[in-house]
Homo-oligomer: A and B are copies of this chain.
Amino acid sequence: MVKIGIADTTFARFDMGKAAIDELKRNCSAQIVRYTVPGIKDLPVACKKLFDEQHCDIVMALGMPGSKPVDKTCAHEASMGIIICQLMTGRHIIEVFVHEDEAPDARELAALMEKRAREHALNVVKLMFKPKILEKEAGTGQRQGYEDVGPARI
C-alpha cells in the first residue's frame, strides 16, 4: 500500500496538513503519516525522516513563509533543502508553500492555504496513481490555489 508523508509546521497560520489529509482520503487509498515541526527550515529533514524512518513513497511539505525579506530567504533555503532531499532519496516531495503576503487579509490567506493544499494533494494522487493524466495536462497552464491560466496558443 502506498504510504504518503505529511510534513507541516506550527509556524503556519492554517492547518494545511489537515486539509491535505482530508483531500487525500477522499481521492485515494493510502496509508498517511504526519510529522509536524516548528518552521519551514525544519521541513527538509522532516521529509528525510519520513522517507528513511517511516518509509514513505512520497511526501507533502506544507508551509507558510512570512512576509519579511528574512522569511523569503528562509523559504529559499527550505526549498533548496527539499530539492536536495528529493535527489538523495529519488522520491517526490510536493512542496506546498503559501506566502503570508499572497493574500490581502487573514480570511483570504486561510482560504488560499486550504485550496492550494487540496489541489496539490490531487497532484500527489496523480503522481502516484494516475501519471498519464499529468502527461495529458502537460503545458496546459495548471495552477494550484488560483484559477488555471491555460495554454498559450501560437
Q: A23-67: which residues lie under 8 A (CB-CB) from chain B? A: 34-38, 41-42, 44-45, 48-49, 52-53
Tell me, rounded to whole Å, the shortest Cβ–Cβ distance linking A112 to chain B. 10
* Bound complex: CA A93 to CA B92 (Å): 18
Query: How far, in Å, is A148 (CB) from chain B's closest CB?
Result: 9
Interface residues on A, range: 35 or more
The answer to whether residues A36 and B131 also contact, given A13-B149, A77-B79, A79-B74 and a CB cut-off of 8 A, is: yes
Q: How far is the CB of A38 from chain B (nearest CB, A)?
A: 5
Say whether B45 contacts A139, CB under 8 Å.
Answer: no
Report B-chain residues with C-beta under 8 Å of the C-beta of A131: 35-36
A1 CB-CB contact with B under 8 Å: no
The residues of B that contact A77 with a CB separation of less than 8 Å are 76, 79-80, 83
Bound Cα distance from A120 to B77, whole angstroms: 19
Give Cα A85–Cα B88 distance, bound, in whole angstroms: 9
